[in-house]
Copies of this chain bind each other. A is one copy, B any other.
Amino acid sequence: MEFKISRDFIAQVEQYIEENNEVQLQALLKDIHYADIAEIMEELDSSDASYLFHILDSEKTAEILLELDEEIREKILKNLSAKEIAEELDELSTDDAADIIAELPEDKKEEVIQELVDAEHARDIVDLLRYDEDTAGGLMAKELVKVNENWNVLTCVKEMRIQAENVQRVHSIYVVDDDNRLKGRLSLKDLLTTSTKTPISEIYIKKVDFVKVNTPDVEVARIMQKYDLEAIPVVDELGRLVGRITIDDVVDVIKEEAEKDYQLAAGISQDVEADDSILDLTRARLPWLVLALFGGFISVSLLESFNAAMKHHKELFFFTPLIAAMAGNVGVQSSAIIVQGLANNSLSGSLWRRLIKEVSLTLLNGSILAILLVLGSHFLLGEGFNLALTVSISLISVIVIASLIGTFIPILLDKIGIDPALATGPFITTSNDIFGILIYFSIAKVMLGF
């Protein structure tokens, strides 16, 4: 079960740190999971966190390092020598070690690599560093269990015992030929239930899913999810087995992807967190606000151009925020559903059918809203019937257009290879504000005449 970090517990830790009480601290944290210690360290100020890091068992610190927020990890790494960092990395698997090295400043990177004790581990880490972090190569670890197709089960089990020492979790046993080319796989279950004399070539499964080193990470995630895989081997351009990706690495990709779409919908253009610096947050947020501001300028000039309505129909101007808000909301709803459908690859059927569906859906919603609007503006707000009718007809037209924009802009962007999630949020609300006001006043002009 889980350990809950209480305010009291943190206070206790802080007190021991202040008292320099190493013995009590170590006793207090002895049975605490490294993920929990990382969370505790994130609550401390950075010098306390550094102090805590130094007095902990070296077994735990490598894992803690991995769990920490990037910002705090950077601070702690700054206080460690290249040799100390190398010692931490020797405890980690190649993919995790490579991720941490990638975060170091250029000059320290080399120093740390020089200090790595295990030569093979070092070679594997350096190898991983050359892959782009958004590809299968950037996700994979070098640790895996593989056997040669020419062995028999006995040799295989013996070799596996040696290889398994380096692997945290055995998922599949991959089968390669003499040139290390991926030929197939053996399931652990098969191995548990097969006699030891059987030759590998007879029992291995020739069909094996794999990805290439340059496959994008979101594609890897999609394939592993679709085919329900817990691990997938990675091959290079020559089909040689170079690494393996496990589902837990992919969970982060899936989560980040879903969160990125959400952030884009909210007008945040980089992967930021609430605890990032003000400058990072501004960089992610300001561009969208500037876009919305310039969109706002357009709506101001549009309204000015319908200036003439002020004389006899000034109430029209009271309804502009309502029309704009409805257009924005409908547009965001439509686009969010389409963006998720595109992300999950679950959109089926023709564009034509989608068009009809979206229009019927919005006409249904729009009619209900229009009735409420007529009733509301007449009885709640005491407007005349003509005005209420004009606003209602405009509302239906505006939200139909808004829903079409919300539906087809993401599809269009996706077709030309741009992330459709960009089309949600500020982009949609701003353009729908503009179209909304234009349509609203145009209809009003025709109906009321000004």
Q: What is A's interface to B at a CB cutoff of 8 Å?
A: 1-2, 33, 35, 42-43, 69, 157, 160-161, 164-165, 167-170, 188-189, 192-193, 209-211, 223, 225-228, 230, 246-248, 251, 254-255, 258-259, 261-263, 265-268, 272-275, 278, 281-282, 285-286, 288-290, 292-297, 299-301, 303-304, 307, 310, 314-315, 317-326, 328-330, 332-333, 335-338, 340-341, 344, 346-349, 354, 357, 360-361, 364-365, 368-369, 372-373, 376-377, 380-381, 424-426, 429-430, 433, 437
30 contacts between A and B (CB under 8 A): A42-B348, A164-B192, A167-B189, A170-B189, A170-B192, A230-B248, A247-B251, A255-B258, A258-B262, A259-B340, A263-B337, A267-B329, A274-B346, A274-B354, A275-B349, A278-B360, A281-B361, A286-B365, A286-B369, A288-B329, A290-B368, A297-B376, A299-B321, A299-B322, A304-B381, A310-B314, A320-B321, A324-B324, A325-B429, A325-B433
Of A161, A223, A304, chain B has the most CB atoms within 10 Å of the CB of A304
A265-B265, A273-B340 known; A225 and B251 CB under 8 Å? yes
Contact B365 A274 (CB under 8 A): no
Give the CA-CA distance A380 to B282 in the complex, in Å. Answer: 25
Give the CA-CA distance A165 to B278 in the complex, in Å. Answer: 56
Least Cβ distance of A167 to chain B in Å?
A: 7
Q: A263-B340, A282-B364, A289-B333 are in contact. List 9 more A-B contacts (CB 8 A).
A: A43-B348, A262-B336, A278-B361, A292-B329, A293-B373, A296-B323, A297-B381, A307-B314, A321-B321
Contact B2 A286 (CB under 8 A): no
Indicate which residue in B161, B321, B326, B348 contacts A192 across the interface (CB closer than 8 Å).
B161
Indicate which residue in B228, B278, B322, B337 contacts A272 across the interface (CB closer than 8 Å).
B337
Give the CA-CA distance A346 to B203 in the complex, in Å. Answer: 47
Indicate which residue in B336, B346, B368 contacts A263 across the interface (CB closer than 8 Å).
B336
- Enumerate chain B residues within 8 angstroms of A357, measured Cβ to Cβ: 278
Indicate which residue in B226, B293, B365, B426 contacts A35 across the interface (CB closer than 8 Å).
B226
Please give me the residue from chain B that is nearest to A36 by CB atom: B226
Least Cβ distance of A218 to chain B in Å?
A: 13
A227-B33, A286-B365, A429-B328 known; A267 and B333 CB under 8 Å? yes
Contact A330 B225 (CB under 8 A): no
A2-B223, A226-B35, A340-B273 known; A377 and B164 CB under 8 Å? no
Contact A278 B364 (CB under 8 A): yes
